[in-house]
Structure 1
Amino acid sequence: MNEFTLKVRPLAFHSSCEKPYLNASCKVIIPQSILKSLMDTSENTIHSPIAFLLLQGEREIISVGVEEFSAPEGFIYIPSFIMETYWLPHETEIILRYQRVEKGTKISIEPHKTAFIDSKAKEKTFLENYLKKCYPVLSAGSTILIKEGATEYYINITETIPERVISTLDTDLEVEFKQPLDYVEPPPPAPPSIVEHMSMPK
C-alpha cells in the first residue's frame, strides 16, 4: 500500500495559487518523490486520474486529485476550503494513501443553499465541465465547493456510483439533485373565504 506522511499547507502559500480555480477544487500539490515512488512500485503504469485518500489518523477526510508534483519534501498544499471544512490547521500531519478509482456513472448531490438550484452552476454543461476540471475525483460523503464567478456554492456528495470513490473523467455522469439543506416547505394555501348571504327580516 502506497502511503505518505505529509504536513498540510494552504495552496495560497504555493506559487500555483495564481490558478484561481484550484481554491475551489479537490486538487493538491505534493512532492515529486511521491510520483517517483508510485512509478517504482507500479512498474511505470499509473492510472489516470492519480487519486489519493487524505487521512488524519484513522479519520478518512476526502479523496483528492493532483495538480502538480512540485511541493517541498514533507508537505502537501491543499485548497483552503478543505482545510476549513475538515478542520485541518496549518502544519497538521496527514496520511496520503494512493487509490485506483473507477469511472463514475452517477452522483447524487445536496446543495447547501437553494440559490444553487436557480444558478448557472447547476446547468448540465457548466457542472460537467467544472467537475472534470476541478474534481477529477469524487467521494461519497464529502463536501465540495463550486465557484460560479464570485459566487460560492457548497455541495454535499451524498452518493457515487458504481463505487464510493469515482473518477469524473472520460465518462457520461448522471447527476441527481437532492433537496437543498436550507429548503423550507412553502406554507399551505389559505382556505377559500366563505361568504354567507343572510336574509334579514324587514
Structure 2
Amino acid sequence: MASFQDILSGVANSLLLGGQPAAEFSQSYRCYSIAHANESLHCLESGDKICLPSSALNALAQRHVQYPMLFEISNLQNPSQKMYCGVMEFSAREGIAYVPHWLMKNIGITDGALVLLRNVTLPKGTFIQLCPHDSKFTMLSDPRVILEKKLRGYSCMTKGSTIAIQYSGFTYLLDVMDVKPADAVSIIEADVEVDFAPPRDAPSSPPPEPVPDSSELVWSPSTEEKNELPSSTNQSQYFSKLGRGHRRSER
C-alpha cells in the first residue's frame, strides 16, 4: 500500500532529477464498489475516498502533485455526471478503481462501468447546506457533532450530490443543497460552516387562509336600499351605525 508520503517523495525525486511533469493526470478505469475490495477497505463506504492501482501512483509521481490529492470522477458514457473525491491508497488491481457505492449512484454507474479520473485543485470550502432525507437524522443525540466526525472521511463536497453517513448501523442520506465559494470544494483542514435544511420527509406547512378581496369588504347600497336612505343631513350617522369593513351578510 502506498501512502501520501510515498507519493510526495516520488514527486520530489522526479523534480530533483530534472523530470518534466505532465500537465495533468487523466486515466480511465473499470469501476467497482468498495464491497468488491478487501474487507479492510469497506470502511471507505462512509466517505468519498477511493482506491486506485499502483500504476496510478507511478503516473502521479511523474507530475506535480499538490496535497491534498483530489480527483474529478466522471461517467465515461455521460461526462456531465461527475463528482469529486480523494484517494486512500493504491492497492487495487490493475485497471480497477474501487469507489463507494453511494458515489457510483451519484454519477449513474454500476459495477464494471468505465469512469474517467482526472486530478484537480479545488478551493477550500467555507459553507455547506445539507438536507437530510430522513428526519430521524435530526433526532439523533447531537447530529452536528456526529456529522462533524463523519465528514472527516470526506475530502470534497459537490453541490447537487447526495452523500451517505453511516452511524449506529444505519445509513443516512443527505443532499448537498449548496456549497461555497464554488460548486465543488475541498473540506480538508477547512473551517466550514454547516447549515441544515428541513428534512425531505418533514410535513409541509399548511397553506395560508385565503384573504378576501378588498372589494368584497366595501358595502355599496342597492337601488332599493338607496330609497331607504335618510336625508343627506343624517346619512353620516346612518353609515356610522352600519359600520365599515363588514360584509353585507353581516349587517
TM-score in same-fold range (> 0.5): yes
- Quote the Cα distance in structure 2 between the aligned partners of 1:165 and 1:146: 19
Quick one: structure 1 residues 33 and 153, their matched pair in 2 at CA, closer, same or farther if it must change by over 3 Å?
A: same
Cα distance in 1 for partners of 2:85, 2:164 equals 13
Rg (Cα) greater in structure: 2
Partner residue in 2 for 1:70: 91
**Aligned-pair CA distance for 1:186:** 5.8
2:167 to 148, 152, 155: 148
Look up the match of 1:79: 100
Q: Work out whether residues 72 and 82 of structure 2, in 8 Å CA contact, stay in contact via their aligned partners in 1.
A: yes
**Identity over the aligned pairs, expressed in percent?**
26
Residue correspondences, number: 182
- State the alpha-carbon separation in 2 of the partners of residues 171 and 153 from structure 1: 23
Give the Cα separation in 2 of the matches to 1:98 and 1:38: 9
State the TM-score, normalizing by the size of structure 2. Answer: 0.67
Aligned-residue RMSD, C-alpha:
1.9
**Structure 1 spans left out of the alignment, 5+ residues:** 189-202
In structure 2, the residue matched to 1:7 is 30
Which letter maps to 2:102?
Answer: F
Q: 1:182 aligns with which of 193, 201, 206?
A: 201
Structure 2: how far apart are the matches of 1:59 and 1:137?
Answer: 18
Note if contact 1:7-1:74 (Cα within 8 Å) is conserved in structure 2.
yes
Once residues 57 and 122 of structure 2 are traced to their aligned partners in structure 1, the CA distance between those partners, rounded to angstroms, is 17
Does 2:112 correspond to 1:91?
yes
CA–CA distance in structure 2, aligned partners of residues 157 and 121 of structure 1: 20
Instruction: Map 1:17-32; keep pairs closer than 5 Å.
Output: 17-32=39-54
Q: Take 1:101 and 1:31, find their aligned partners in 2: how far apart are those partners?
A: 23
Give the corresponding residue for 1:41: 63
Residues 87-166 of structure 1: pairs in structure 2 closer than 5 A: 87-120=108-141, 122-123=143-144, 125-132=145-152, 134-166=153-185
Aligned-residue offset at 1:98: 0.9
SS of match in other structure, 1:69: strand
| SS of residue in 2 equivalent to 1:33 | helix
Query: Normalising to structure 1: TM-score of the pair?
Result: 0.82
Deviation string 1:124-161 (CA, Å, 9 cap, x unpaired) is x32122112x1121111111000111111101111111
Q: Whose relative contact order is higher, 1 or 2, with alpha carbons under 8 Å and at least 6 apart?
A: 1
Q: 2: CA distance between counterparts of 1:166 and 1:120?
A: 28
Q: CA deviation at 1:85?
A: 4.6
The structure-2 alpha-carbon separation of the partners of 1:142 and 1:35, relative to structure 1 and needing over 3 Å to count, comes to same
- The 1:36–1:127 alpha-carbon spacing in structure 2 relative to 1, beyond 3 Å, is same
